[in-house]
Chain A
Amino acid sequence: MFTSLGRYILLLRLSFRKPEKFSVYWAEIMREMISIGIGSLGIIGIISLFIGAVAVIQVAFQLNSPIIPDTIAGSIARDSTVLEFSPTISALVLAGRVGSSIASQIGTMRVTEQIDALEIMGVNAPGYLISPKILAGITMVPMLNILSICLGLLGGYIACAASDDIAPADFVLGLRDGFLPITLQASLIKSFAFGFIITSVCAYQGFYTSGGALEVGQSATRGVVWSCIMILFADLIISRVML
């Protein structure tokens, strides 16, 4: 385990060496941003809408009491969406969609000697392959998180409008009541950390693939599993430190 940790840290150090030509790396960063950000819009949108709606329905069901104001459902749905559902569940989904793609892409490049070809040319292969993915991850995952929060709350509003458990006006009032900016800060810091974890852990698994197609699949699986574990661990640490 310590060997793996050491190799992971060394790989990260190699990834952030001075680029051979900034314009080529910039183009790669843009390409990765499109792949990670735009490519994940659909799945993040659908998940966020449904989770937001379900969160409101469940809160309304559990707090159905004459002594609890209806606005509380909006407040609880807001905080749970901002703090947990949007950053963490989005990150777990992205680990599957983006992480497996990164691990299998880099793993395939390793077993088909494309990484050797880069090194022969004098290209810093970790830098060219991994740093654009990490930079795109730490930029796009927080943006997807913001979108996920908005859509989650919209999903909650739609759920209120579609049922008569809570009036939409009460839900909106609850959203605005007692909002603490620290929750949004914690959410963004979480998604920044999760973006880093997904891209770097999966890139590491892909980069050290050896063998053939079977091992590429195993690397992708290991990348996703380790990313998920690290995401949950980071979630715990950040929540403990910030809240």
Chain B
Amino acid sequence: MIEIKDIYKTFGDNEVLKGISAQFLPGKNNLIIGGSGSGKTTLLKCIVGLHEPTKGQVFFNDQNFTEMSFEERVPIRTEIGMLFQNSALFDSMTVEENIMFPLNLFTNQSKSEKLDRANFCLERVNLKGKNKLFPAELSGGMKKRVGIARAISMQPKYLFVDEPNSGLDPKTSILIDELIAELTKEYDITTVVVTHDMNSVMGIGDHIIFLHQGQKWWEGSNKEIAHTDKQELNDFVFASKFMQAAKEKL
């Protein structure tokens, strides 16, 4: 379980996050949603330690991650997998080397064991046989799937996903969402997804946090989101004509 307590983050005079608290449970797809500039990605970066919160604390299974040194964080970091918005695959490495990279650094597995694990992860994301390709040779959807394969190679307890659907066609977006949801249930991972894609929200949002102007505005599930009386959330969720039409049918 991940718990965040009263997180504030300020850049210069700009207060981006204003006292956000939440719990993210294992086996659930926890979604952080909100409009552009609402602080979603900043919150995600504060949770994983890429940004240090100005105030507040982050706990991974009751361990205070915020107060740990770089060395103390390493064991927790090896339990974290992350899929970045642009996949962030290492350009100079093949798909297989990308997936084996954390295994090379943090395990004492033999080369054949690491290869087996890489093949298993690739098969799990439906990219069997793509081992020797370089990131530049992959489509956007394939890069995302390799990113997921790399993120799960160390059998993570926590999976963080930043805008998994950006730049993807609707069909591929749904495939990526389904893959994330399947992995979350299959391995009982605590998954935190930052998104503003309403298909993701309605499709996999077990637990949703809506951020508005750096504050937690609403919390609930995808079943509750359509019936909220919060104006700001309604404006966000039903911004498109398609969603408005869908709401009228509800």
Tell me, yes or no, whether B74 is within 8 Å of chain A by CB: yes
Tell me, yes or no, whether B82 is within 8 Å of chain A by CB: yes
A112 pairs with B88, CB closer than 8 A: yes
Q: Can you name 4 extra interface pairs (CB under 8 A) apart from A113-B84, A121-B102? A: A21-B105, A120-B50, A120-B160, A122-B105
Tell me, yes or no, whether A165 is within 8 Å of chain B by CB: no
A113 pairs with B85, CB closer than 8 A: yes
Smallest CB separation, B203 vs chain A (Å)? 25
A119 pairs with B88, CB closer than 8 A: no
B85 pairs with A114, CB closer than 8 A: no
Q: For chain A, residues 103 to 129, give those with C-beta under 8 angstroms from any C-beta of chain B.
A: 108-109, 112-114, 116-117, 119-124
A114 pairs with B50, CB closer than 8 A: no
In the assembled complex, which residues on chain A have CB atoms less than 8 Å from the CB atom of B49? 119-120
Complex-state Cα separation, A122 to B102, whole angstroms: 9
Choose one: A24, A113, A116, A119; the contact of B105 (CB below 8 Å): A24
Smallest CB separation, B146 vs chain A (Å)? 12
Complex-state Cα separation, A121 to B70, whole angstroms: 12
B105 pairs with A123, CB closer than 8 A: yes
The 7 A-B pairs with the shortest beta carbon distances in the complex, nearest first, are A122-B77, A113-B88, A117-B88, A122-B74, A113-B84, A120-B82, A20-B105
In the assembled complex, which residues on chain B have CB atoms less than 8 Å from the CB atom of A122? 73-75, 77-78, 80, 105-106
Complex-state Cα separation, A155 to B101, whole angstroms: 46
Tell me, yes or no, whether B217 is within 8 Å of chain A by CB: no
Q: For chain B, residues 141 to 181, give those with C-beta under 8 angstroms from any C-beta of chain A.
A: 154, 160
Smallest CB separation, A159 vs chain B (Å)? 42
A–B complex contacts, Cβ < 8 Å, 28 sampled: A20-B105, A20-B106, A21-B105, A108-B91, A109-B90, A109-B91, A112-B88, A112-B91, A113-B84, A113-B86, A113-B88, A114-B89, A114-B90, A116-B50, A116-B88, A117-B82, A119-B49, A120-B50, A120-B77, A120-B80, A120-B82, A121-B77, A121-B80, A122-B74, A122-B75, A122-B78, A123-B105, A124-B70
Could you list which residues of chain B lie within 8 angstroms of chain A, going by C-beta atoms?
48-50, 70, 73-75, 77-78, 80, 82, 84-86, 88-91, 101-102, 104-106, 154, 160
In the assembled complex, which residues on chain A have CB atoms less than 8 Å from the CB atom of B82? 117, 120
Residue of B with least CB distance to A122: B77
Could you list which residues of chain A lie within 8 angstroms of chain B, going by C-beta atoms?
20-21, 24, 108-109, 112-114, 116-117, 119-124
A120 pairs with B48, CB closer than 8 A: yes
Q: Which of B49, B82, B105 has the most CB of A within 10 A?
A: B105
Known: A20-B105, A112-B88, A113-B84. A119 touches B50 (CB 8 A): yes
Residue pairs across A and B with CB atoms within 8 Å: the count is 57
Choose one: B75, B85, B91, B105; the contact of A121 (CB below 8 Å): B105
Residue of B with least CB distance to A128: B105
**By DSSP majority rule, is chain A's interface helix, strand, loop, or mixed?**
helix
Complex-state Cα separation, A24 to B107, whole angstroms: 12
Complex-state Cα separation, A114 to B80, whole angstroms: 15
Known: A120-B80, A121-B78, A122-B78. A114 touches B104 (CB 8 A): no
In the assembled complex, which residues on chain B have CB atoms less than 8 Å from the CB atom of A113? 84-86, 88
In the assembled complex, which residues on chain B have CB atoms less than 8 Å from the CB atom of A120? 48-50, 77, 80, 82, 160
Residue of A with least CB distance to B81: A120
Complex-state Cα separation, A120 to B151, whole angstroms: 10
In the assembled complex, which residues on chain A have CB atoms less than 8 Å from the CB atom of B74? 20, 122
Known: A21-B104, A121-B105. A116 touches B78 (CB 8 A): no
Complex-state Cα separation, A87 to B127, whole angstroms: 50
Choose one: B75, B84, B104, B154; the contact of A117 (CB below 8 Å): B84
Smallest CB separation, B142 vs chain A (Å)? 16
Residue of B with least CB distance to A121: B102
B85 pairs with A24, CB closer than 8 A: no
